[in-house]
Structure 1
Amino acid sequence: MKIKFLGAAGTVTGSKTLIESNGIRIMIDCGLFQGIKPLREMNWDPLPVLPSTIDFVLLTHGHLDHCGWLPRLVHQGFKGKIYCTSPTKDITKLILLDSAKIQEEEAEKANKGKYSKHEIAESLYTIEQAEKVFPLFKVVKVGESIPLDAQIDAVFTSAGHILGACSITIKLENKTLVFSGDIGRDDDVLMYPPTKPKKADYIFLESTYGNRLHPQADTKSELEMHVNNTINLGGTVIIPSFAVERAQTIMYLLWQLKEEKKIPNIPYIIDTPMGISALNIFRNYPKWHKLSLEEIEKVSEMFLLVSDYKETNELILDTRPKVVIAASGMITGGRVLSYLEHYIVLPETTIIIVGYQAEATRGRKLLDGAKEIKIYGQYYPVNANIQEIQGLSAHGDQKDLLNWLSQLENKPTKVFIVHGENQPADELRIKIQEKYGYDCKIPLIGQEFEL
């Protein structure tokens, strides 16, 4: 059996792990690279194997860095089955269509504004190509064994993180391989704790926050403070957010604060069509999260739900203090850019970063103190107040990741540490070896191992 790391090795994004066994090829996740330009450029590269020779894709969840390369895979010849949970199927559809739409729009803007280095800017894939992915989905139930081949079985188990997110256990060649996917938190606001593995010969463990502990500070109080401070200055709060789970978490906390009369009666806006659609996914899958249907309706009523871009432009020009939640979470695209073009230059604006920011994304640059930021070919001075609320991340921290390993009944042969930048991955490696004595390896992109 061979394992080849095609993404999310030495970096957080672009999750793709290829398994080859007895003539069968299985890919775990098929994500987009995000962040620094050399990584983003890898999205245009062909895979080292022909997509037509891959038999199955197993999706851990529907975030772009785990599913966003599927349209390229299918366009280049993949015709196999894509296994995932029902919420993941719905979320992936939303995210792929949104991703394709943004890419088409950005290519069009680059061509109109003539700021692309290419003679004609092209989108990585189109809406039409994204839609060709959907007929290949095959929905699985949590805990059920799925026979991929006569001697290969897969089982999906809940990972917390977002709706539908799972870890995946594959049994083949008398070995048990466990792919963590993205691990949620043991104390998340909306999601239930992840299911911990009991047996594994090889573990593929994410390390996004492998060197961090989430602060013990009260995140709701932090949100209250930033909103009130900004509104008192007559400013606007902009929260760039992942449209699935994070946006709903922030909406829920703001609703609680308003119910408790701790924040003022001003416009609260959710400006992400995908985030609004994700509310319906929460309604459709009540067993996957902690919110009641009544709470979902009450939260929704508090917010102005914006889908039409004309309304976005009207809100941008509205000078009244307000709170805006807009995609995307790492400020790599989407409607939040339109708000930032206008508001990032204003000192009374507060931008609250609420999730992981990959290297070289605009979100990371703002956290690192950038004095100016480039949006659609133009530079804007950063005069806004940049804040981070670390406690709102949907990723487990170092303690959660170590705890996820705590119920193993056997000592795995090896733990591959993936989906993390170099320092977090290495610090997690040290902690795992100290606590459990497991042999750990941090693979590089393109590396292949025989198991």
Structure 2
Amino acid sequence: MIPNPSPVQLKFLGGAGTVTGSKILVRTERHSVLIDCGMFQGLKQLRLLNWEKLPLNYDELDAVILTHGHLDHCGALPMLVKNGYDGPIYATLPTRDVTEVILRDSARIQEEDALQANEGGYSRHHPARPQYTEEDVDRTMPLFETHDDNEWVIINEDFKFCFRKSGHILGSAMVELVCQGRKFVFSGDLGRRRPLLMEPPYLVKDADYVVLESTYGDRRHSEKSPYEELAEVVNLTYEKGGVLVIPSFAVERAQELLLLLNTLKQDKSIPPLPLYLDTPMGIDVTDLYLHHRDWHSLTDEECETMMRDVHVIRNFEHSLHVLDKKGPKIVIAGSGMVTGGRVLYYLEQLLGNSQNTILLVGFQAPGTRGNLLRSGSDELKIHGLYYKVHAEVRQIGSLSAHGDQADLLWWLEHFKKAPQQVFLNHGETQASEALRLKITDTKGWPVTIAQMGVTYDV
């Protein structure tokens, strides 16, 4: 520690009181860095924040450090660049590759949605415009500077950092940041103790300040085997003679599903149903698993099993014919919270038939169509039209890439001494509050639930 260190400020510009839009500004008297630059999703009042210019001086921002490539952590980068940022974006190599896939897909969806809205006349904005385009992504990607995990990077006289594997998705890492003699640890999204595809999270031994996600801070995941849960839903849909549609995140979740389903087929635990992967982004990310072997725990054989007998759908024109042939089948399509993407087409065709099943396999943020389905809504609005929900909606909780309350407490148990302060972010209010109470009751540590837009002096 240095004597009488000058103040360091933390300001949460997103991911506080919500699970989307993660952005944390770390500022000293001379310099500032941004941890993550995510897009808001879900509730309209959150999505509207994406159109607002961030309350920071872009010329004085020294760097962006990215924990991983999910849209709620990286999706606003092109907007940051559009507003004048031209400094480095630090990430691991696989995070850089995943982020490019995610951002290009996001830009394409926004451009397509704007076009459809203008043609269909169902937007209140005339004309409807995307928040960013692929050209904006083209200007963003050259700013990336990649580093390995455990490699210390000096940004300037105030900041140095290193990445530590977080076990969440391909390339994901927590950020260990040293600023004026104090150590800050930003968990990003923290994986589980025994992830299906990743290595377990790196165990931090000490820190002065910890910023910890709390997505599942109020609950524990199902202890059922994901193989058993998935097989039950597949066999149920097969017996009904319907189609199983799985809205899926393209990173991690799609790859887990492919591995699980093909393994179940090999074991004859489920019938050999046609399996379609209809998410161009998911296809591209699956290819990345073959190029970044040091960032996951799959064997070569498991990587090959993942894509065995999978019908890959890249063009939307081909999506239109997947349902032509009647009979049971499995379709994995983006997006995971049903906010856009190819899955909307399948829902338009299949929601009205009780033979079909919609399987939710991840967190469903408030305000998303996925959350409406999970909550039992009897209709869904898609592209300006309402569709009755007669299909069976199921959810399994054993596939989450986020640590649950027990996993988060397990990770904290490895600290040799109490941090000066723990900040909880990236969680709904009840989840963060439950985790705060659990930490204070079991460990006696000081815990603050981060508030959006509030500056914390440390």
Quickly name the TM-score band, shorter chain normalised.
Answer: over 0.9
- 1:194 equivalent in structure 2: 201
Residues 93 and 147 of structure 2 are in contact (CA less than 8 Å); yes or no, is this contact kept in structure 1? yes
- Secondary structure at the aligned position of 1:52 is classed as helix
TM-score (norm 1): 0.99
Deviations 1:307-345 (A, max 9, x none): 011110001333221000111111101000111110111
Residues 18 and 26 of structure 1 are in contact (CA less than 8 Å); yes or no, is this contact kept in structure 2? yes
Is 2:422 aligned against 1:415?
yes
- 1:96 equivalent in structure 2: 103
Q: Distance in 1 between matches of 2:309 and 2:445?
A: 49
Superposed displacement of residue 266, structure 1: 1.9
- 1:61 equivalent in structure 2: 68
Q: Distance in 1 between matches of 2:316 and 2:111?
A: 16
Is 2:41 aligned against 1:34?
yes
- 1:334 equivalent in structure 2: 341
Q: Supply the RMSD in Å over aligned alpha carbons.
A: 0.9
Q: Distance in 2 between matches of 1:318 and 1:112?
A: 30
Residues 262 and 308 of structure 2 are in contact (CA less than 8 Å); yes or no, is this contact kept in structure 1? no
- Secondary structure at the aligned position of 1:224 is classed as helix
- Secondary structure at the aligned position of 1:133 is classed as helix
- 1:290 equivalent in structure 2: 297
Aligned counterpart in structure 2 of residue 183 of structure 1, from 169, 190, 198: 190
**Structure-to-structure mapping, 1:383-398, within 5 angstroms:** 383-398=390-405
- 1:353 equivalent in structure 2: 360
- 1:78 equivalent in structure 2: 85
Which letter does structure 1 place at the counterpart of 2:240?
Answer: L
Is 2:174 aligned against 1:172?
no
Residues 52 and 76 of structure 1 are in contact (CA less than 8 Å); yes or no, is this contact kept in structure 2? no
Deviations 1:178-237 (A, max 9, x none): 000000011111111101211111110000000010111122111111111111111000
Is 2:267 aligned against 1:254?
no
- Secondary structure at the aligned position of 2:161 is classed as strand
Is 2:450 aligned against 1:443?
yes
Is 2:288 aligned against 1:281?
yes
Residues 86 and 140 of structure 1 are in contact (CA less than 8 Å); yes or no, is this contact kept in structure 2? yes
- 1:366 equivalent in structure 2: 373
Aligned counterpart in structure 2 of residue 9 of structure 1, from 16, 20, 25: 16
Q: Distance in 1 between matches of 2:396 and 2:353?
A: 21
- 1:401 equivalent in structure 2: 408
**Structure-to-structure mapping, 1:75-154, within 5 angstroms:** 75-154=82-161
Q: Distance in 1 between matches of 2:122 and 2:184?
A: 46
Q: Distance in 2 between matches of 1:22 and 1:140?
A: 27
Which letter does structure 2 place at the counterpart of 1:130?
Answer: V
Flag structure 1 segments of 5+ consecutive residues without an equivalent.
Answer: none
Residues 263 and 305 of structure 2 are in contact (CA less than 8 Å); yes or no, is this contact kept in structure 1? no
Residues 51 and 74 of structure 1 are in contact (CA less than 8 Å); yes or no, is this contact kept in structure 2? no
Q: Distance in 2 between matches of 1:131 and 1:215?
A: 41
Number of paired residues?
Answer: 451
Which letter does structure 1 place at the counterpart of 2:243?
Answer: T
Which letter does structure 1 place at the counterpart of 2:297?
Answer: K
Which letter does structure 1 place at the counterpart of 2:256?
Answer: T
Query: Percent identity of the aligned residues?
Result: 45
- Secondary structure at the aligned position of 1:315 is classed as coil
Superposed displacement of residue 150, structure 1: 2.3
Which letter does structure 2 place at the counterpart of 1:84?
Answer: A
Q: Distance in 1 between matches of 2:340 and 2:377?
A: 18
Q: Distance in 2 between matches of 1:23 and 1:328?
A: 41
Superposed displacement of residue 27, structure 1: 0.1
Q: Distance in 2 between matches of 1:212 and 1:283?
A: 34
TM-score (norm 2): 0.97
Q: Distance in 1 between matches of 2:215 and 2:59?
A: 31
- 2:4 equivalent in structure 1: none
Deviations 1:99-129 (A, max 9, x none): 0000000011111110001121111111111
- 1:431 equivalent in structure 2: 438
Superposed displacement of residue 286, structure 1: 1.2
Is 2:328 aligned against 1:321?
yes
